[in-house]
Amino acid sequence: MFQPLYALPLALAVLALAFTVPTSSHEDKPEAPVATPKRAVLRHALKYDMIGDGETVLEKFALAKKLGFAGVEINSPSTLARAEVLAAAKQTGLTIHGVVNSVHWVKRFSDPNTAVREEAGRILRGAIDDAHAYGATTVLLVPGAVRDPERENFEQAWSRSQDEIARVLPYAKEKGVKIAIEVVWNDFITTPEQLVKYIDEFKHPNIGAYFDCSNMLKYGVSSADWIRALGPRLLKFDFKGFSKEKGWVPIGEGDEDWPEVLKALAEIGYDGWATAEVAPGDRAHLADVKLRMNRVLGD
């Protein structure tokens, strides 16, 4: 049909309006909310043997609690009486969050002697009993060491320790305790990839990693990279202060990149204990340790 000429301007205006893209200024757009950076949830603890002041378990626990520590780790085997430890924990409110196998260097799961390995298994079961009695969630265990190229080498340490620990894992599950594997300066498991593989090969929920943020700097991988690699396998961590140039130094004066460590812990959703492991000392020494922990970890 023929369209009158006077209708064309109106049609063109409508067409132009349809293809016009609306514009708005930056000020017109609502501002996106600023996300609060994630933070790891950390509870500060120390090793029981660090507490130099105090004659009784109760006095030592009370001092740790007063200085601001929330938890403690206790050795097993030890000369402490369970009843006394439990009474002190109840009275002070200090949590016994973990037990440390105190003889894993001597009674090694990598030892070439079968009898020694069997004894190591009995000792680990005893540590699990202590942890269960104290309400602790983990037993820290160094699984072995490379001591001899023929009789206690890397491959032997790996297979022997895995075999023996596997025998104990059902007991750990029964008691509700996890075995936390720590690797230190023992020439055995020196990379994050090795530790991940070592733990994963058990295919068991009651084993994970106990990572020392200071010790493993010696091997050239940052603590944050270890943490990211371990991910959900990371049960707990402890630390000191380590400098490649000076050796052991006070907490906060070493090569640890604490902002990056905290970032990595937040990334994996860590919610747990951060335990200082330094030389024992009196009240003033422990107060300084706590202040240093506050600086590097946050209150």
In this prediction, what percent of the chain has a pLDDT beyond 90? 86
Let me know if residue 22 belongs to a domain: no
Could you please report the per-residue DSSP string of the chain?
A: -PPPGGGHHHHHHHHHHHTPPP---GGGSPPPPPPPPP--EEEEEEEGGGB-S-SSHHHHHHHHHHTT--EEEEEES-S--HHHHHHHHHHH--EEEEEEETTTTTS-TT-S-HHHHHHHHHHHHHHHHHHHHHT--EEEE------BTTTB-HHHHHHHHHHHHHHHHHHHHHHT-EEEE---SSSS--SHHHHHHHHHTT--TTEEEEEETTGGGGGT--HHHHHHHHGGGEEEEEE--EETTTEE--TTSSS--HHHHHHHHHHTT-EEEEEE----B-HHHHHHHHHHHHHHH--
pLDDT attached to residue 185: 92
CB 134 within 8 A of CB 99: yes
pLDDT attached to residue 295: 97
In this prediction, what percent of the chain has a pLDDT beyond 70? 88
Burial (CB < 10 A; 0-12, 13-18, 19+), residue 253, is: middle
Let me know if residue 182 belongs to a domain: yes
pLDDT attached to residue 298: 86
> What range defines the domain where residue 110 resides?
38-297
Give the residue from 254, 255, 261, 253 showing the smallest Cα distance to 297: 261
Question: For the chain, what is the domain count?
Answer: 1
- Taking CB atoms within 8 Å and a gap of at least 24, the contacts of 247-256 are 250/278, 250/288, 250/292, 251/276, 251/278, 251/289, 251/292, 251/293, 251/296, 252/292, 252/295, 252/296, 254/214, 254/217, 255/217, 256/213, 256/214, 256/217, 256/223, 256/296
More confident residue, 151 or 28: 151
Residue 6 has pLDDT above 60, yes or no: no
Which CATH number fits the domain that encloses residue 227? 3.20.20.150
Q: How far is residue 89's CA from residue 97's CA, in Å, rounded to a whole number? A: 11
The reported pTM is 0.87
Residue 259 has pLDDT above 70, yes or no: yes
CB 188 within 8 A of CB 149: no
Region 62-78: mean pLDDT is 98
Let me know if residue 15 belongs to a domain: no
Of 22-31, 88-97, 108-117, 238-247, the poorest mean pLDDT is in 22-31
Q: What is the pLDDT of residues 203-221, one digit of tens each?
A: 999 999 999 999 999 999 9
What is the residue whose two structure tokens read 């063109």?
12
Categorize the per-residue pLDDT at 60 as very low, low, confident or very high, splitting at 50, 70 and 90.
very high
pLDDT attached to residue 30: 52
The token pair that represents 182 in the structure block = 């720590």
Give the residue from 118, 141, 145 showing the smallest Cα distance to 199: 141
Side chain identity, residue 188: F
pLDDT attached to residue 39: 86
Let me know if residue 6 belongs to a domain: no
Q: What is the pLDDT of residues 73-120, one digit of tens each?
A: 999 999 999 999 999 999 999 999 999 999 999 999 999 999 999 999
Q: What is the pLDDT of residues 178-197, one digit of tens each?
A: 999 999 999 999 999 999 99
Let me know if residue 32 belongs to a domain: no
Let me know if residue 10 belongs to a domain: no
Let me know if residue 20 belongs to a domain: no
pLDDT attached to residue 38: 79
Residue 276 has pLDDT above 90, yes or no: yes
Let me know if residue 9 belongs to a domain: no
